[in-house]
Amino acid sequence: MDEIIYEILQKYWGYGEFRPMQKDIIGSLLDGYDTLGLMPTGGGKSLTFQVPTLCREGLCLVITPLVALMKDQVDNLRNRGIRAAYIHAGMSRREMVTTFDNCLYGRFKFLYISPERLDTELFIARIKGLTVSFIVVDEAHCISQWGYDFRPSYLKIATIRHILPDVPVLALTATATPQVAEDIQQKLLFRNGRIFRTDFARPNLSYVVRQGEDKIQQLLRILHRVPGCAIVYVRNRKRTKEVAEELRKAGISADYFHAGLATEEKNEKQRKWKEDETRVMVSTNAFGMGIDKPDVRTVVHMDMPNAPEEYFQEAGRAGRDGARAYAVLLYTSRDKANLHKRLTEEFPDKEFILKVYERVGNFLEIALGCGMDSVYEFNLKRFCTTFKYTATPVLNALKILSISGYIDFIEETDSLSRIQILVHKDELYELRDSDPQTDRVLQCLLRSYTGLFADYTYIHEDLLSQRLDISQQEVYESLLKLNRMHILHYIPRRRTPYIIYTRERMEPRYVQITREAYEERKKRMADRIKSMIAYATSSTRCRQQMLLEYFGEKTDYACGCCDNCIEQKKRGNATHEPPVQIAQAIRQQLGNGIWKRSQIIDALPYPENDILEALRFLQDEGFIVCKDGIHYKNSK
């Protein structure tokens, strides 16, 4: 078997060797064991199930909550000549039926599916007829109520285990505390389970916290000091563009990324960044999943993440090539207050949650006692406008209703336009005499895409527009006309969230917001925030040790390369200058001029924290005033 898996690795991926732990997990799965793989970001999780699937007959069922990542992995497999497909809530029933039929006929080796589709009548009926080799649960921490991103739809996976009791399960996650790891195994009904945990320590990754009010200046200093590719994470979409513009003004090649961008735009931005046409990508946490770029030298968080799990995963995208890299968190005293504000926002009043439940039902025109198992497009913007809500509390209310078991809420997904031709080729000739432009659009479709008669095919209206030298609106109208004529089935591109009612709609007074969904989750989030603040404010403990201990990995040695470790070395190896001497050096440096704080730090040969302490002393005593710069006062 060793010879076969190495042949597959070389044939499809061009690698001669596996990364640490990959081969162990593959062997466990091929031996029929339920397996939990705890592998850090960039550890190569996908190969642990893709390689063994290609060794066996049958289909690998991959469950993942992220539609964008699902599409990326399917595209990557297809580009390697491996047959793969996916099913999610944004697809029509006809598309899902066609995909299941192709699985039944053996046309696919991998079927990716979102968890909310697992207990549908269509899925349960079809999965019984398929030969399934393995069940893979990606982002497995989502199944645990103790996990930082619990999703109740993941609990439906147990249903598959009852239907396919002899099929081994592989659960994969980059972030799991010991409690979460235990919970994953229980929820997935592990029988003969094995756990493989890679060492989460990253010797080449330096964890750093920088404190300072001007985060843009801090960011510029970091990017000027550390050359190479970088990711900068911020909390909201608007801020991505603002920070990217600031970087460009400073002469740094930068772009921005968030989930609200069109698919083509996201793909082009990713391409330029991966090919080093763009140096810095400023993004929300939508960027990074599934992007395997090994030479990221710096990951900077402009805003505090809610949880160490989130931070560890995103920071871990730096330095996958093993060379020195930096994970930098920018922190100010305001961040602590912002984190506690997020806690309040994430758990709005229960009365508000019940009101949202009632109004969503009215908005979607669902009668009491109806709606169960139905999928509804949900225009969040129009809903908020109608009822004068802001989006954040509504989204959090929907999440709590989802965890309480009343709905499944699938956040905004972006689906390309899709077409399938419904008539025989001979019937297309009759169209030529009726409408020349519509016929031109159809002929361009046939020249540009293959497989239109057999299955739904993704198309780009802008490509047809360029080739035909007509507007996209004219292309759109011609495709709609062909749809009305039943020549083809056209599903226009759309970007929308979905709501699936997991129970029939009921009166709000009967809706129970569970303690697990509200009080217990709120406490766990508060604990995670406390851990993040402790990480950011510590000035003595090794930062990597702090993160490893959070995930239950005890270590007796410090990393030696985080900012706190380096600071301890400096204090141990160099003569420590007293604060008065540093203050005198600052006053001498200032003279009668105006200097920025960053210039003072760069100019003096003392630890940054000592310089900041001396600056605060000088300001408190009235020797200097701090505005845009630092100005030495001659009066003292």
Q: What is the DSSP letter of 372?
A: B
48 & 110 share domain:
yes
Query: What gap in Å lies between CA 227 and CA 279, rounded to an integer?
Result: 9
Q: Which residues of 83-96 are buried (b: 16+ CB within 10 A; e: fewer)?
A: bbbbbbbbbeeebb
Enclosing domain of residue 473: 417-492
Query: Can you give the pLDDT at residue 19?
Result: 81
Q: Which of 148, 527, 521, 537 is nearest to 336 (CA)?
A: 537
How do residues 375-398 score in pLDDT, each as one tens digit? 888 988 899 999 999 998 999 999
Query: What gap in Å lies between CA 294 and CA 306, rounded to an integer?
Result: 26
How do residues 228-286 score in pLDDT, each as one tens digit? 999 999 998 899 999 999 999 999 999 999 877 876 788 789 889 999 999 999 999 87
CATH number at residue 470: 1.10.10
30 & 50 share domain:
yes
Burial (0-12, 13-18, 19+ Cβ within 10 Å), 25? buried
Q: What are phi and psi of 380, to 5 degrees?
A: -60, -45
At residue 174 the predicted structure's pLDDT band, cuts being 50, 70 and 90, is confident
Lowest-pLDDT choice from 147-156, 304-313, 324-333: 147-156
132 & 191 share domain:
yes
Residue 37 resides in a domain: yes
Query: Can you give the pLDDT at residue 244?
Result: 96
* Mean pLDDT, range 64-77, rounded to an integer: 81
At residue 190 the predicted structure's pLDDT band, cuts being 50, 70 and 90, is very high
Residue 276 resides in a domain: yes
**Percent of the chain at pLDDT above 90?**
41
Give the neighbor-by-neighbor strand order of the sheet with 494-501.
375-377, 494-501, 407-415
Q: Which helix (H) or strand (E) holds 162?
A: helix 157-163
Query: Can you give the pLDDT at residue 47?
Result: 93
Query: Can you give the pLDDT at residue 254?
Result: 96
How do residues 24-53 score in pLDDT, each as one tens digit? 999 999 999 999 999 876 668 899 999 999
At residue 544 the predicted structure's pLDDT band, cuts being 50, 70 and 90, is very high
Neighbours of 634 (CB within 10 A): 7
Whether 351 and 393 have beta carbons less than 8 Å apart is answered as no
193 & 55 share domain:
yes
Lowest-pLDDT choice from 306-315, 510-519, 546-555: 546-555
Tokens of 18: 């596996």
Q: What is the DSSP letter of 367?
A: P
* Mean pLDDT, range 2-28, rounded to an integer: 90
DSSP assignment of 215-277: HHHHHHHHHHHS-SEEEEE-SSHHHHHHHHHHHHHTT--EEEE-TTS-HHHHHHHHHHHHTTS
Higher pLDDT, 619 or 82: 82
Query: Can you give the pLDDT at residue 577?
Result: 53
* Mean pLDDT, range 579-587, rounded to an integer: 74
Query: Can you give the pLDDT at residue 412?
Result: 59
Which ranges of 56-154 does DSSP label H, i.e. alpha helix? 67-79, 93-104, 121-127
Its pTM stands at 0.72
Lowest-pLDDT choice from 306-315, 458-467, 614-623: 614-623
Query: Can you give the pLDDT at residue 471?
Result: 85
How do residues 445-496 score in pLDDT, each as one tens digit? 888 888 888 777 888 887 888 888 888 888 888 898 888 888 888 888 766 7
36 & 113 share domain:
yes
Boundary of a domain, candidates 331, 351, 367: 331
Residue 604 resides in a domain: yes
Radius of gyration for the alpha carbons in the chain, expressed in angstroms and rounded: 28
Query: Can you give the pLDDT at residue 43?
Result: 67
173 & 93 share domain:
yes
CATH number at residue 257: 3.40.50.300
- Give the mean pLDDT of the chain: 86
Query: Can you give the pLDDT at residue 608?
Result: 75
Residue 470 resides in a domain: yes
* Number of domains observed in the structure of the chain: 5
* Mean pLDDT, range 545-574, rounded to an integer: 83
Q: What are phi and psi of 299, to 5 degrees?
A: -120, 120
217 & 71 share domain:
no
Asked if pLDDT for residue 513 goes beyond 50, the answer is yes
24 & 74 share domain:
yes
Boundary of a domain, candidates 197, 216, 233: 197
Q: Which of 310, 300, 303 is nearest to 336 (CA)?
A: 303
63 & 38 share domain:
yes
Query: Can you give the pLDDT at residue 511?
Result: 95
How do residues 72-106 score in pLDDT, each as one tens digit? 788 889 889 999 999 887 677 888 888 899 998 88
DSSP assignment of 501-533: ESS----GGG----TIIIIIHHHHHHHHHHHHH
41 & 166 share domain:
yes
Residue 385 resides in a domain: yes
Query: Can you give the pLDDT at residue 144?
Result: 83
Query: What gap in Å lies between CA 580 and CA 448, rounded to an integer?
Result: 75
Residue 535 resides in a domain: no
**Percent of the chain at pLDDT above 70?**
92
Length of the chain: 636
Residue 532 resides in a domain: no
* Mean pLDDT, range 559-587, rounded to an integer: 74
Query: Can you give the pLDDT at residue 39?
Result: 84
Asked if pLDDT for residue 202 goes beyond 70, the answer is yes
Asked if pLDDT for residue 423 goes beyond 90, the answer is no
429 & 374 share domain:
no
93 & 140 share domain:
yes
Residue 544 resides in a domain: no
Contacts 24+ apart (CB under 8 A), 17-21: 18/44, 18/47, 19/43, 19/44, 19/47, 20/198, 21/196, 21/198
* Mean pLDDT, range 335-356, rounded to an integer: 93
